[in-house]
Chain A
């Protein structure tokens, strides 16, 4: 009886995975060139930026929150790193600075939400605008280019490691760390507890304030990492980069089966969700679907996934 229960819950978790396989199969039948090593590596590289942001978003959503400011954080961190590099500062320091800035922006979100008790949607809607404005001020509204030569920096977005794109590697390593963090540590348990029942968590001696600040900081850090990878790939920082990225990240989390009400979900689902979106983007391009219609397809897939999820519950 015990094993049976486990089996049903496993099947439930397999839902997103089956969806992914289905989409891959359909696209391959329509255009076999989808399933070539080159194209698949390409998909992995394209997916990595959304996946990194979506990982952070998973933590935030597990606590029952949301972070709309990730796209702006990505742009600001990218711009900081690029500007520092353009002015000849050591690339390692530039990258670390970008990451620290992103983490701080995230921490600020967490602080407003946890200490100021502002609804996460409202708080990050506001900071999304603020951080975007800061990016535009900082860059004077112009792209930052002329980043100089740095193997380290170029590897981050464009390099290969044993034939696998470095961004995809970064994503996998990050995934593993976050998976363990969520599954095996007290921090992970506290994240679930705060999202599952905040009041019960606080009354059990868990500091919901601290957990929230950590979680938003983590999301800021990951958005910054994605921003630096993007800057490396484009060899310049765009002040308008990352707009609407929050929506793709939220979509990946939801496709992965994590509940927007918090407390329920897993990060494995998120990586599958991000792959579904990436495969759709790439596949629809290969099939020559117009970019306008692509949006209709993507939105419909999300809707379908959520409806199927409802049925299951």
Chain B
């Protein structure tokens, strides 16, 4: 279907792709893996006509092509679904599907709404999505919006769909729906290129895998003939060892506890505690109220009822400043919208939560800023070209380390991490886990919200499982299993009664 041979590309002197080969067969799901910066997105941008290659040939359906514009690739049936969805929340599903290609009466601009709704309904049914085309897009879950994006590309007769981290924001149940859709597309002869950091998904849905490292193609394997360890060592060029490093921290006293914490329509009557040196995992499906709960503990939202206790003392946290004063730090879920100022330098981002300690009577002390930068770069092995590098030009893993570094400057007693490794590659993931372990060893009490079950199981001392705003149970290490956690996350025994 697609054959890319000897693709070479440089950006202002930086050689990002070196003689890369990539082939895609009709009706296959082909995984493209590699650490951040390995060249995956550049390769896909060349395929979809956003960038021009410097050297090499691209053959699509037996015909050699040179795309100068994304429209040309689109014409040949190549569609890309980006991580950030292009869905307009205030439009209906059908309107989204036909955006830019509306069916109009004699092309005069008067829309044939009925016809579009009918065609949209057909497409949705084919993909196995049970929603009305007249529903507003904002009422759909992120997972369903993702499928709408797929439907959109099918409306333009896509034969090749590139998906960039499609499951990053999905819950397990939504991932299942997505995979069902992908299998249907395969049957229809559509080929998919699947970019993801999640190994489990690649093994369950893909046929072949190509690994890139530092702009070179390391190799292509048939999924059935390879395994987790081989892929990882192809990606990082070395054996990574245990995925979840071992932690031997001593568990101390209860640092933070919440009692009967309630926020209307978000979560109800939640009680939990976390001890020094322990990592408390919070698991649950999307919309279970996990982020809302931790944001309330951090004072970003205010509770309606209940108590927050630090070192046994009940405290009123009106805003994040109060929480920070008590030694609580919070690495938020979405680093781009809540964690970083993307246009700021690394130095300025690290400063943000430490302005008072870095300054002297309100005047910034440059030396203090630089020493914080240096400390964090070496402690967290942030890879950057210098303190003035803009946060937006860092890879996902390094961005996340900057967000964590922001908080280590204040020596927190309690560290809350919301989805700490989302969109982060395997190597950086392990580094983040090691940082968490180090902190736990130093007696920091850690709360980690995560949608990735292996991460929850691999890292947590105990796991609190939430469902629809309620804390279902708290499990100890010897009680964990994916099945058990999912059982409670989907409603537990109550589910049966309902």
Report A's interface with B, CB cutoff 8 A: 1-2, 5-6, 184-190, 192-193, 196-197, 199-207, 263-264
Contacts and interface: CB of A to CB of B under 8 A. Distances in A.
A206 B362 contact: no
B321 A189 contact: no
A195 to B, nearest CB: 9
Contacts, number: 82
B352 A264 contact: no
Contacts of B358: 186
Contacts of B364: 184-186, 188-189
A193 B341 contact: yes
B258 to A, nearest CB: 19
Interface residues of B, number: 32
B385 A2 contact: yes
Given A185-B364, A189-B364, A207-B319, A201 B352 contact: yes
Interface in B298-356: 298, 300, 319-321, 323-324, 330, 332, 337-344, 348, 351-353, 355-356
Interface of B: 298, 300, 319-321, 323-324, 330, 332, 337-344, 348, 351-353, 355-356, 358-359, 362-364, 385-386, 388, 406
A192 B320 contact: no
Nearest to A199: B338
Given A189-B355, A201-B352, A264 B341 contact: no
Contacts of B324: 205
B319 A204 contact: no
Contacts of A1: 385
Chain A: interface secondary structure? helix
Which residue of A186, A197, A199, A200 has the most chain B CB atoms within 10 A of its CB atom?
A: A200
B337 A186 contact: no
A313 B444 CA distance: 43
A192 B353 contact: no
Given A202-B320, A204-B320, A206-B352, A197 B388 contact: no
Contact of A207 (B321, B340, B353): B321
Nearest to A2: B386
Q: Which 7 A-B pairs have the closest CB atoms?
A: A196-B341, A204-B353, A204-B352, A205-B324, A186-B355, A197-B341, A205-B321
Given A203-B300, A203-B332, A193 B385 contact: no
Nearest to B351: A189
Contacts of A193: 341, 344, 348, 352
B342 A197 contact: yes
A263 B362 contact: no
B338 A200 contact: yes
A203 B407 CA distance: 11
B385 A200 contact: no
A17 to B, nearest CB: 22
Contacts of A185: 359, 362-364
A2 B343 contact: no
Contacts of A206: 321, 352, 355
Nearest to A263: B343
A287 B341 CA distance: 47
A173 to B, nearest CB: 19
A205 B362 contact: no
A200 B362 contact: no
B388 to A, nearest CB: 7
Nearest to B320: A205
A215 to B, nearest CB: 16
Contacts of B406: 204
Contacts of B362: 185-187
A259 to B, nearest CB: 9
A276 to B, nearest CB: 25
Contact of A200 (B341, B355, B359, B363): B341
16 contacts: A2-B388, A6-B388, A185-B359, A186-B356, A193-B348, A193-B352, A197-B337, A197-B342, A201-B341, A202-B300, A203-B320, A204-B320, A204-B352, A205-B353, A206-B352, A207-B319
Contacts of A187: 362
